[in-house]
Structure 1
Amino acid sequence: MDVRRVELDRSVPALLFKVGRYPLHQGSVGAVRSLGRAGVPVHAVVEDAFTPTARSRHLARRHVWPTTGLEDPAALVDRLLRIGRRLPARAVLVPTDDEAALLAAGARDRLAECFLLPEIDPELPAGLAGKRGLYERCLAHGVPAPDTRFPADAEQLVAFADELGYPVVVKNPAPWERLRTPVVAGTTVVPDRRSLVALVGSPRGVLLQSYVPREFAQDWIVHLYAAPDGRCAPVFTGLKLRSWPPHAGVTTYARALANPGLARCSARLCRAIGYRGPADLDWRLDLRDGRYKLVDFNPRVGAQFRMFETDRGLDVVRALHLDLTGRPIPSGVQREGRRYIAEHLDVAAFVAYRGRTGAPGRPGFPPDRGGLEPAWLALDDPLPAAVTAVRALGLAIRRCGR
């Protein structure tokens, strides 16, 4: 790919920031490569010096800071400002998880001393990343969403689950809670009442969602950038084909596929609620009624964003840098058929899916013209893949030991 097709301001650095300890984060490596290949000095907050992000040759400097999510948010902002004051210039801040995005939006006025950030209502990202706020906005704007309930006690937990029907989906309701007081490790599909009662200790810490059976569902991804004037460009769409854990976890294999109707729907929602900046939306197509239902709205760059780019080499992270440095975002056409794979997780997912994909009702795919974007492996940046292999193997050994 010729990165000269998109000219970024190389005098403005970028700082990648996330909260919590999960060193194998493919979105951070993708952002370092995207900006670094375009000549932007990229800095990153990392858990330690031996993470895939920290070992990328495209990284200008790593800032070792092992956060947990249990810290006082004001203290996190103070530390972030101390890092910012050591940078050579005001930097584009790139949050790569929900907690970092919420922190940046809420403290935008303070962080503006050292960082460039989108202008957005400071409360809006929390209202979108939080499941109750998102569900209420979907209802208010006529956007389909899975039926959702928020039990306040054990009696409501059982009653709401019976009302929604089994299997039922259980989730932590808000970003910070997933780090501080998680009830489930992630999105969990519970088969029956006995399993639900055994799993959930505190009903106040979860939400319940109706489950669209996987044989009647397709999982779609939308990544976009909402500019200050409300225009969403670029808007990318793709289909999740495998995930880990199966059918309910992070994307391990996906493909960029044009879906103009879904792109327009996502852009309309962002304009209606006044959203600005990068966003990662998860939609579940219910083949029984033909409706796309909004499952998640992540107010930040998505982990698999490098699956998407235009014919001019533009992705969401580059759009963010262009916009915040006062440069126009060039128009372009999504590269169709481009594939994405998270290698360390897709091996297990491939076995679980028995070599198939989770896209029922899909008759076929366009020819592979967009190429393959591995999360870790890159010929011009080999160390992140090597570090990932070592750390993933160590994690697997520890789990087997337990």
Structure 2
Amino acid sequence: MASRGTLIAADRSVPGLIVKIGNYPLHHGGVGAIRSLGRLGVPMYAITEDRWTPAAVSRYLRGGFVWPTTGTEGAEELVEGLLRIGRRIGRPTVLLPTDEEAAVLIAEHAADLSDTFLFPPVERRLPRRLASKQGLHELCVEHGVPSPGALFPLSYEEIEEYAARAVFPVVAKNREAFERRRRPAVHGTTRIGGPRELLTLARGWGPVPGVILQEYLPREEAEDWIVHAYFGAESTPLAMFTGVKVRSWPPHAGMTAHAYVVDNPELADLAAQFIKQIGFCGIIDLDWRFDRRDGRYKLLDFNPRMGAQFRLFESATGVDVVRAQHLDLTGRRVPEGEQLAGRRFVVENIDLPALAAYRRSGYTTPHAPARATGTELAWAARDDMKPFFTMLARFVRPGVRHLWQLWRSRRAAAVVE
């Protein structure tokens, strides 16, 4: 779908830099940000794992900095690496983190980075607390924001007590967002069906389990909603969007694969009030689940940075959250405009398996429009097709290699027999 970026007068003298920590080359959010600002004439730069990631080959990328990281590096090393990149760019640059590690690093080391880069003046400890499942739950309780019931066990004995009284199924997640890069107790969101399964898993979590055990909200009685927004220095919403998630991968618990823009003033007000209370500024990506059993929206996840699916949302004046941040940090006015309701977003490489899984389960989203007003694809764009083909090559190759290895192993086994 054609962008309305021509309505926006961006400061083309101020570049943008996609900042990522960790090895995840197939990230469509970074590609979307490069295109979004690049179409406005903003010089775009990106940190990439190698020279052949989808982001690295975008026509809108002015320059890539190959810097493979794991997420286990020390903060001093990461800050120095960012400053080296800043010196190579040679002028003040807007930072656009694509993961929690990068967002936390920027906030906690703002004093070291502020002479070289532009970023929202968020309170330095807040992003880490919001990215933590425990920190977010405590903030929700403190400010009266509904969230699923949760336990943060400190020992195996505490889990045993919980297993005896809990209503199953329950959900297990890593307590801290950063643990997925180090030694995760669980991989992603894990549904646990009963006490025996929980205790079996817990034996492998060590003496101090790094998990959250959370109330399960049955998908048959729930709806998945998302809020993306950009808040200025006074926690004022300068761009606010709401939508509904139709499919995710892995099913019901992973990355958005298919979503629609749906107006939801009640949810927008709830999110804006919470942001005002905690004093956050910058881009947010929130996951909410509407529980039809009690009629409340419950906050599941708070990502203090742009979400991979942010290009789902655009206003009638051409504003998305990335453009809003660049405009605001360069002293430009963010044009007001209603969100483009009915617009949809599709992530090509994961929506096909998600579609098959959702059809088998029979799950549907009641608020999804019958017909989209427009479609934004995560990878394919008529004016920038190289990222799409690069994604295909990198996405398909591991699958082909797996099939080849499987065929060779079976052939070898047949010869032995």
TM-score, with normalisation over the residues of structure 1? 0.96
Counterparts of 2:24 and 2:307 in 1: how far apart (Å)? 15
1:386 counterpart (383, 389, 394): 389
Q: Secondary structure at the match of 1:54?
A: helix
Describe how 1:169-184 pairs up with structure 2 within 5 A. 169-184=171-186
1:82 Cα deviation (Å)? Answer: 0.5
In structure 2, the residue matched to 1:260 is: 265
The number of residue pairs the alignment matches comes to 400
Q: 1-side partners of 2:335 and 2:164: how far apart?
A: 50
Once the two structures are TM-superposed, the CA of residue 399 in structure 1 deviates from its matched residue by 5.2
Larger Rg: 2
Residue deviations 1:258-288, cap 9 Å, x none? 1000001000100100000000010001111
Cα deviation digits, residues 198-257 of structure 1 (max 9, x gap): 334115211110100110110100000111122112110000010111111111000010
Seen in structure 2, the aligned counterparts of structure 1 residues 383 and 355 have a Cα distance that, compared at 3 Å, is farther
AA matched with 1:240: K
Which residue of structure 2 lines up, in the alignment, with residue 14 of structure 1? Answer: 16
Q: Percent identity?
A: 49
CA contact (8 A) 1:241 1:358 kept: no
Query: Are positions 1:23 and 2:25 aligned together?
Result: yes
**Which amino acid is the alignment partner of residue 148 of structure 1?**
A
Q: Is residue 33 of structure 1 aligned with residue 38 of structure 2?
A: no
Q: Specify the alignment match of 1:3 in structure 2.
A: 5
Name 2:229's counterpart in structure 1.
224
* Residue 281 of structure 1 pairs with residue 286 of structure 2: yes
Residue in structure 2 matched with residue 311 of structure 1 by the alignment: 316
Tell me the secondary structure at the aligned position of residue 282 of structure 1: strand
Partner residue, 1:234: 239
Q: 2:397 is matched by which residue type in structure 1?
A: G
Q: Which moved more, 1:349-358 or 1:72-81?
A: 349-358
Show CA shifts across 1:70-123 (max 9, x none): 101111001110100111311000001111000000001101121001111100
The one-character-per-residue Cα deviations of 1:11-70 (angstroms, maximum 9, x if unpaired) are: 000110011101111110110010111110000000011111111111110000000011
Q: Is residue 271 of structure 2 the alignment partner of residue 269 of structure 1?
A: no
Instruction: Measure, in 1, the Cα distance between the counterparts of 2:253 and 2:345.
Output: 18
Name structure 1 gaps, 5 residues minimum: none
Aligned-partner Cα distance in 2 for 1:163–1:7: 59
Q: Does 1:167 align with 2:172?
A: no
Q: Secondary structure at the match of 1:85?
A: helix
Q: Distance in 1 between matches of 2:334 and 2:130?
A: 25
Q: Which amino acid aligns with 1:395?
A: P
Q: Is residue 368 from structure 1 mapped to residue 336 from structure 2 by the alignment?
A: no
Judged with a 3 Å threshold, the aligned counterparts in structure 2 of structure 1 residues 364 and 343 are, in CA distance, closer, same or farther, namely closer
Is the 1:171–1:186 contact (alpha carbons within 8 Å) kept by the matching residues of 2?
Answer: yes
| Structure 1, 234-243 or 160-169: larger mean CA deviation | 160-169
- One-letter amino acid matched to 1:306: R
Q: CA deviation at 1:392?
A: 1.0
Letter in 1 for 2:32: G
Please state whether the residue corresponding to 2:13 is helix, strand or coil. Answer: coil
Partner of 1:157: 159
**Aligned equivalents of 1:25, 1:162: Cα separation in 2:** 41
Distance in 1 separating the partners of 2:211 and 2:368: 38
1:144 is matched with which residue: 143, 146, 151? 146
* Whole-Å separation in 1 of the counterparts to 2:393 and 2:363: 29
| Residues 44 and 174 of structure 1: CA distance in aligned 2, closer, same or farther (over 3 Å) | same
- The residue that corresponds to 2:117 in the other structure is 115
Matches of 1:162 and 1:266, distance apart in 2: 35
8 Å CA contact retained: 2:244, 2:367: no
Partners of 1:363 and 1:64 in 2: how far apart?
A: 42
- For 1:323-353, what per-residue CA distance to the aligned partner results, in whole angstroms no more than 9, with x for missing partners? 1101111111000011011111111101101
Q: Distance in 2 between matches of 1:329 and 1:359?
A: 36
Contact 2:242 2:264 in 1 (8 A): yes
> Aligned partners of 1:319, 1:169: CA distance in 2, in Å?
35
3-state secondary structure, aligned to 2:198: helix
Residue 183 of structure 1, CA deviation: 1.4
CA apart distance, 1:142: 0.5
Between 307-316 and 168-177, report the one with greater CA deviation: 168-177
Aligned residues of 2:28 and 2:378 also touching (Cα < 8 A): yes
Deviates more, 1:87-96 or 1:202-211: 202-211
Over 3 Å counting, the alpha-carbon distance change for 1:179 and 1:356 in structure 2 is: same
| TM-score normalised by the chain length of structure 2 | 0.93
Decide whether aligned partners of structure 1 residues 397 and 119 sit closer, same or farther in structure 2, where only a CA change above 3 A counts. Answer: same
